[in-house]
Amino acid sequence: MGGFAWCKRLSAVAAMVLMMVPIAGANAPAGRQNLVQLIASSQSIVAGTVRKVSDGVDANGMPYTEVTIAVGVSPKGGVGPGDYTFRQFGLIKPRTLPNGQRLLMVTPAEFPLWRENEYVVAFFYHPAAKTGLQTTSGLAQGKLTRVNDRLSNVYDNA
């Protein structure tokens, strides 16, 4: 895609996000990030539909949730159109290991939850150097889901 077309697409996505997501005001809860902060702290931003969500335990015993997003647009970070797959810490639900022990390390409450077929705009922080695990900037704040043609995070964009 040519440079001009890419800039046009980036401008359209930025305008869509700015119109649909109110920037947090002075009364936002402590620790929350507004849209400008989410953009600044993100390595990449993707917009697309979640295609697959699964979980597992890697060779080092690290529990993860693996998410694949069919990316339509990536206004930051150079993620091309197509599938983008990442892993974030924690399981979808507790599981019993082959040795009979129960592994309870589910995704922490502050992390985003992912559902197949949902349309999202996700502000991704860079992957962890040692584990490769990745999540969104601002944790659950950095995942916006489209509901009734409105984008919002779990905090209703506070």
Q: Percent of the chain at pLDDT above 90?
A: 65
CB 58 within 8 A of CB 64: yes
The reported pLDDT for the residue numbered 110 is: 93
First to last CA, the chain: 36
- Tell me phi and psi for residue 57, to 5 degrees: -130, 125
**DSSP summary character for residue 70:** E
Domain contains 112: yes
Domain contains 102: yes
Query: Span 50-72, mean pLDDT?
Result: 96
Domain contains 18: yes
pLDDT band at residue 18 under the 50/70/90 scheme = very low
Residues spanned by the domain of 51: 3-152
Residues 6+ apart with CB under 8 A from 55: 63, 64, 65, 66, 90, 91, 92, 93, 95
Residue 5 has pLDDT above 60, yes or no: no
Domain contains 53: yes
Total count of domains within the chain: 1
- Cα dist from 103 to 39, 69, 106, 109, 115, whole Å: 35, 26, 8, 17, 22
CATH of the domain at 66: 2.40.50
Query: Span 116-143, mean pLDDT?
Result: 95
Query: What are the counts of helices (DSSP H) followed by strands (DSSP E) for the chain?
Result: 2, 8
pTM of the model: 0.78
Domain contains 131: yes
The residue whose two tokens read 């401008």 is 11
- Give the 3-state secondary structure of residue 91: strand
Domain contains 105: yes
Domain contains 50: yes
Domain contains 157: no
Q: Which of left, alpha, beta for 37 (phi over 0: left; psi -120 to 50: alpha)?
A: alpha
